[in-house]
Structure 1
Amino acid sequence: MSESKPYFSLTKPDPRRWVALVVVLIAAFRDAVDVTVVHIAIPDIQADTGASLSQIQWITGGYALSYALGLITGGRLGDLFGRKKIFLLGVAGFTLTSLVCGLAGTPEVLLAGRIAQGAMAALMVPQVLSIIHVTFPTSERGKVFGVYGAVMALGTLAGPLVGALLVQWNLFDLAWRPIFLVNLPLGAAGLIAGALLIRESKGERAQRLDGVGVALATAGLLMLVLPLTQGRELGWPAWTYASMAGALPVLALFVAWERHLTRHGGSPLVVLSLFSRRSFAGGQSVQLLFGLASGVFFLAWTLYLQLGLGFSPLKAGLSGMPLSAAMMAGAGLSMQVLVPSFGRRALQGGALLAVAGMLLFAVFAVFAVFATRYGTDIALWQTMLPLIPMGLGMGLIIAPLTDLVLSEVPHQHAGSASGLTSTTMQLGQAVGVALSSVVFFGHLGAGDPAARAHALPDAFTGSLWYVATAFAAAFALLFTLPRRTRTSSTDSTPEHTEKQKQEPQPIA
Structure 2
Amino acid sequence: MADATGGDGTGEEMTDRQRTLAFVTVLIALVLEVADSTIVNTALPVIRQTLGASPAAMQWIVAGYLLVLGSLLLLGGRLGDAFGYRRMFLIGVAAFIATSMLCGMAHTPQQLVVARLLQGGAGAMMGPQVMAIVQILFTPLERVARLAWFGVIGGLAAIVGPIIGGLLIEANLLGLGWRLIFLINLPIGLLALWLGVRTIPHKDVGHRLRVDLAGAALFAIGFAGLLLALIDGAEHGWPAWTLLSAAVGLAAILSGWRRAVARRRDGLSAMIEPTLFRLRTFRWGLLAILTFAASAAGFLLVLAVTLQQGLGKSPLATALLHMPFGLGVMAGISLIGKRYLPRFGRWLLVSGATVMAIGGALALALLAQGIGGGVELIALLGLAGMGMGMIAGPLPPVVVADVDRAFAGTASATLRTAQQIGGALGIALIGSAFFAGASGEGAGRLSGLLPAGVVFVMLLLLSCVAALRLPGDIFGTRGGRER
User: Which of the residues 470, 475, 479 maps onto 1:485?
Assistant: 475
Which runs of structure 2 are paired with 1:193-272 in the superposition (5 Å)? Answer: 193-201=195-203, 204=206, 207-272=209-274
Alignment pair present for 1:390 and 2:384: yes
Residues 140/286 of structure 1: CA separation in 2 closer, same or farther (3 Å cut) = same
Which residue of structure 1 aligns with residue 393 of structure 2?
Answer: 399
Which residue of structure 2 aligns with residue 30 of structure 1?
Answer: 32
Which residue of structure 2 aligns with residue 497 of structure 1?
Answer: none
Structure with higher Rg: it is 1
User: Which of the residues 450, 458, 468 maps onto 2:457?
Assistant: 468
3-state SS of the aligned residue for 1:190? helix
Which residue of structure 2 aligns with residue 433 of structure 1?
Answer: 427
Which residue of structure 1 aligns with residue 63 of structure 2?
Answer: 61
Kindly state the Cα deviation for residue 319 of structure 1 after the two structures are TM-superposed: 0.6
Which runs of structure 2 are paired with 1:110-121 in the superposition (5 Å)? Answer: 110-121=112-123
TM-score (norm 1): 0.89
Q: Which runs of 5+ in 1 are unaligned?
A: 446-450, 493-508
Which runs of structure 2 are paired with 1:254-333 in the superposition (5 Å)? Answer: 254-333=256-335
Which residue of structure 2 aligns with residue 505 of structure 1?
Answer: none
User: Which of the residues 417, 422, 431 maps onto 2:416?
Assistant: 422
Kindly state the Cα deviation for residue 10 of structure 1 after the two structures are TM-superposed: 5.0
Which residue of structure 1 aligns with residue 189 of structure 2?
Answer: 187
3-state SS of the aligned residue for 2:436? helix
Which runs of structure 2 are paired with 1:333-372 in the superposition (5 Å)? Answer: 333-366=335-368, 369-370=369-370
Kindly state the Cα deviation for residue 206 of structure 1 after the two structures are TM-superposed: 5.8
Amino acid at match of 2:190: A
Kindly state the Cα deviation for residue 244 of structure 1 after the two structures are TM-superposed: 1.1
- Kindly indicate whether the alpha-carbon contact (under 8 Å) linking 1:84 and 1:201 is maintained by their aligned counterparts in 2: yes
Distance 1:249 1:359 in 2: 34
Kindly state the Cα deviation for residue 32 of structure 1 after the two structures are TM-superposed: 2.1
Question: Residue deviations 1:245-304, cap 9 Å, x none?
Answer: 222222221122111101111001111111122221111111110122123212211111
Residues 36/297 of structure 1: CA separation in 2 closer, same or farther (3 Å cut) = same
Distance 1:342 1:139 in 2: 26
Kindly state the Cα deviation for residue 426 of structure 1 after the two structures are TM-superposed: 0.5
Moved more, 276-285 or 147-156: 147-156
Which residue of structure 1 aligns with residue 142 of structure 2?
Answer: 140
Distance 1:184 1:12 in 2: 32
TM-score (norm 2): 0.93
Distance 2:276 2:116 in 1: 32
Q: Which runs of 5+ in 2 are unaligned?
A: 1-5
3-state SS of the aligned residue for 1:199? coil
Question: Residue deviations 1:314-346, cap 9 Å, x none?
Answer: 110111111122112111123442113222222
Distance 2:7 2:373 in 1: 59
Which residue of structure 2 aligns with residue 504 of structure 1?
Answer: none
- Kindly indicate whether the alpha-carbon contact (under 8 Å) linking 2:338 and 2:394 is maintained by their aligned counterparts in 1: no
Moved more, 184-193 or 113-122: 184-193
Distance 1:336 1:106 in 2: 44
Distance 2:444 2:274 in 1: 45
Residues 489/211 of structure 1: CA separation in 2 closer, same or farther (3 Å cut) = farther
Kindly state the Cα deviation for residue 490 of structure 1 after the two structures are TM-superposed: 9.1
User: Which of the residues 13, 16, 19 maps onto 1:17?
Assistant: 19
Which runs of structure 2 are paired with 1:448-459 in the superposition (5 Å)? Answer: 451-459=440-448
Distance 1:202 1:392 in 2: 44
Moved more, 480-489 or 343-352: 480-489
Residues 486/179 of structure 1: CA separation in 2 closer, same or farther (3 Å cut) = same
Residues 338/235 of structure 1: CA separation in 2 closer, same or farther (3 Å cut) = same
Alignment pair present for 1:7 and 2:8: yes
- Kindly indicate whether the alpha-carbon contact (under 8 Å) linking 1:334 and 1:399 is maintained by their aligned counterparts in 2: no
Which residue of structure 2 aligns with residue 124 of structure 1?
Answer: 126
Which residue of structure 2 aligns with residue 496 of structure 1?
Answer: none
- Kindly indicate whether the alpha-carbon contact (under 8 Å) linking 1:38 and 1:179 is maintained by their aligned counterparts in 2: yes
Kindly state the Cα deviation for residue 22 of structure 1 after the two structures are TM-superposed: 1.0
Which residue of structure 1 aligns with residue 437 of structure 2?
Answer: 443
3-state SS of the aligned residue for 2:42? helix
Higher RCO by CA contacts (8 Å cutoff, separation 6 or greater): 1
3-state SS of the aligned residue for 1:184? helix
Kindly state the Cα deviation for residue 122 of structure 1 after the two structures are TM-superposed: 0.9
Amino acid at match of 1:7: D
Residues 11/198 of structure 1: CA separation in 2 closer, same or farther (3 Å cut) = closer
